[in-house]
């Protein structure tokens, strides 16, 4: 299922796959990036994505940062990875979210100013990434994923309780706190 969101005059594509077989992630990224030169693409582990809101916020922050003076990398794709991972350093972002040969639950995330380019990538990406498409992998769908997200992004029980609005679910609180961490990158030096 095509998941394209409009983010500040750009289009964000999110495709999640279970049982993916990516033996060489760098080669797979090269293949995906060769589809067209109008898209900025990353492969990331779905276990550390806190819902579509996380990706939308990271995309917005990356676009803002990349166009301004707070740019941390040479490519929008890498800037996007930094904001998804809530990390200031590229090496840490790659360690946290980078796809390795043994990872079977992965997401392809891409940004483009061209809707046609994103739609072209969407049509052709499934030929490159072998796996079963499963958009639910982007959501916080289990206690196990919630625990992994909290550990990876350093979110404590106290912080969850303090940030909770009356009647708010754990996953909603967690999503907000991850989005907050991503946004804080743009004001940190």
Residue 17 lies in a domain: yes
Each residue's pLDDT tens digit, 124-170: 998 899 899 999 999 998 999 999 999 999 999 999 999 999 999 99
pTM beyond 0.85: the answer is yes
DSSP letters along 124-173, please?
HHHHHS-SEE-GGGGS--SHHHHHHHHHHHT--HHHHHHHPPTT--HHHH
Residue 69 lies in a domain: yes
Residue 24 lies in a domain: yes
Q: Which residues pair with 5 in a beta bridge?
A: 12
Residue 82 lies in a domain: yes
Each residue's pLDDT tens digit, 166-176: 999 999 999 99
CATH code of the domain in which 164 resides: 3.30.2380.10
Q: Which residues pair with 32 in a beta bridge?
A: none
How do beta strands 10-18 and 39-45 pair? unpaired
157: left (phi over 0), alpha (psi -120 to 50) or beta: alpha
Domain range for 106 is: 4-184
Residue 189 lies in a domain: no
Domains in the chain, number: 1
Residue 84 lies in a domain: yes
Residue 151 burial (CB < 10 Å; 0-12/13-18/19+)?
A: exposed
């Amino acid at each position: 299922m095509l998941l394209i969101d409009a983010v500040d005059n750009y289009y964000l594509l999110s495709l999640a796959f279970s049982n993916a077989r990516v033996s060489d992630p760098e080669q797979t990224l090269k293949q995906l990036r060769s589809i067209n030169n109008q898209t900025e693409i990353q492969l990331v582990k779905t276990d550390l994505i806190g819902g579509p809101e996380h990706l939308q916020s990271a995309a917005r922050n990356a676009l803002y940062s990349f166009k301004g003076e707070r740019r941390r990398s040479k490519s929008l794709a890498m800037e996007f990875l930094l904001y998804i991972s809530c990390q200031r350093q590229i090496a840490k972002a790659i360690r946290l979210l980078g796809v390795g040969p043994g990872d079977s639950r992965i997401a392809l995330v891409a940004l483009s100013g061209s809707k046609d380019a994103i739609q072209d990538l969407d049509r052709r990406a499934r030929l490159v990434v072998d796996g079963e498409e499963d958009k639910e992998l982007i959501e916080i769908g289990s206690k196990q994923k919630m625990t992994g997200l909290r550990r990876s992004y350093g979110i404590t029980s106290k912080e969850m309780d303090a940030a909770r609005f009356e009647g708010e679910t754990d996953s909603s609180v967690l999503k907000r706190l991850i989005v907050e961490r991503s946004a804080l990158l743009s004001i940190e030096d």
